[in-house]
Amino acid sequence: MSHRRAELRSLAALFLTLGTVAFGGPAAHVALMEAEVVGKRGWFTRAAFLELVAASNLLPGPGSTELAIFIGQRRAGWAGLVLAGACFILPASLIVLAIAMLQERYGALPAVVRAFAGVEPVVLAVVVHAIAGMARTSLRDAPLVLLAVGAAAGSLAGVVPLPLLALAGAAALALHAARSGRPAPGAALLPALAPAAAAAGAAAKPVGLGALFGVFLKVGAVLFGSGYVLLAFLRADLVQHRHWLDERQLLEAVAVGQVTPGPVFTTATYIGYRLAGLPGALVATAGIFLPSFVLVAIAGPLLPRFQRSPAARAFLGGVVAASLGLMAAVCVPLARAALGDAVSIGLFAASVALLLRTRVNPAWLVAGGALVGVLRAFAR
C-alpha cells in the first residue's frame, strides 16, 4: 500500500511540474515526458514509451494529455490514470483562468486590446506552420490530398466538421478495401452520413452551462489530428452556429492556450470563463478533457489490435487528412480578421519565416507579437 502511495506522489509531482512548465505544444510535451519517465526516472524503456505515444495518437482528443493518462495508468492503475491526467491539466487551466479574469477586468485598456491585436497574426502563422508540417507527413498520396481538399471545400461551404471527418474516414476505408479486394465496412456509412452534412445555423443561441458542456464534450470526444483542429470545431460551433464568439475572440482564446504551458485544449477554460464566468470555465474544461480519461480507460486494452489493423489505419488516415483540410479552411476567415494592416501582415510573415528557419518556441513568438501590439498602443 505504501508503494502505491509513493507511486501516486511521484506521478502527482511529475505532472504538476510538467503542467506548469511544459511550453511549446504537444511535440514539446512528449519530449519532456520522455526525458522524465525514460531518461531520468527509468519507468519505461524507450520502446515501451513509444508504444504509449502511438496509442495516444490513435485516440481523439489532446494527445499529450492522453499520453500522461496512459503513463499514470501503467504506473498506478485507475488512481494513477486519474491523478496523472488531472495534475497535467490543472496548472495550465488555473493559469488560463487567471488570464481570463485579468482580461475581463483590464481588456478594454488600449494596451491590452493592442496586445491581442499583435498576437492574432502570430497565432495564425503558428497554425499555418503546423498545417504545413503535418501535411508533409500525413498526406502521403493523392487520395489523401483530395480528401483534405474536399474537407476544406466542405468547411468553407458551411458544412460542420464531424460529418466531414466521418465521410473522409469512410472514403479512405472504401479505397483501402478496393485496393485489397475486400468489402469495406465503412462504405455503407457514406449515404447515411450525407444528410448530416448540414450547414451551420444562422440564429444566435443563448449561452447555457448544459449547452457549453455539450459543445466541449463533443469536441473532446471526436477531434483527431492536432490541437489546432480545435479551431475548426470551435469556429463551427461557437462562431457560426451559436454566435457566442466572433473571429477575433476565437483567435484571442487560441492565443491564450498557445502562450500558456500544458495542453492547448485549456483554450476551453478561457472560452468558458468569457461566456459564463467561473461555472462556465469549470464545465467547459471538464467537458473537453473528460472523454480523454474515458477513452484511455476503455480503449487501452483494445489498441494493440487496432494498431495491427490495416483497415483501421486507413480509416484514421482519412480522418487525419480531413482534419488538415478543416484547419486550412479555418485559416481563411481567421486571416481576414487578423491581417488588417501592414504591421499585422509583417508580423505574420516574420513569424512564418522564424518558424521555418529556427526551432523557436511558438510561445516566444506569441509574446513578441503581444509586445509589438503594446508598443503600437503607446506609439499612438
Signed CA dihedral, 222, 226, 232, 238: sign only: positive
Task: Report pLDDT digits (tens) over 5-34.
Answer: 888 999 999 999 988 877 666 766 887 788
- Rounded CA-CA distance 157/145 in Å is 18
Can you give the residue ranges of every domain in the chain? 2-379
C-alpha dist (Å) from residue 340 to 152, 282, 343, 372: 23, 34, 8, 15
Of 255-269, 271-285, 332-346, which one has max mean pLDDT? Answer: 271-285
Lowest-pLDDT choice from 98-102, 209-213, 331-335, 345-349:
331-335
Beta-bridge mates of residue 159:
199
C-alpha cell read off for 59: 485516440
- Rounded CA-CA distance 332/214 in Å is 27
- Rounded CA-CA distance 366/335 in Å is 16
- Rounded CA-CA distance 256/269 in Å is 10
Reported confidence tier of residue 187, pLDDT bands at 50, 70, 90: very low
Residue 322 vs residue 202, higher pLDDT: 322
Residue 48 vs residue 352, higher pLDDT: 352
pTM for the predicted model, two decimal places: 0.71
Task: Report pLDDT digits (tens) over 97-130.
Answer: 998 898 888 765 566 667 777 877 887 887 788 7
C-alpha cell read off for 76: 498506478
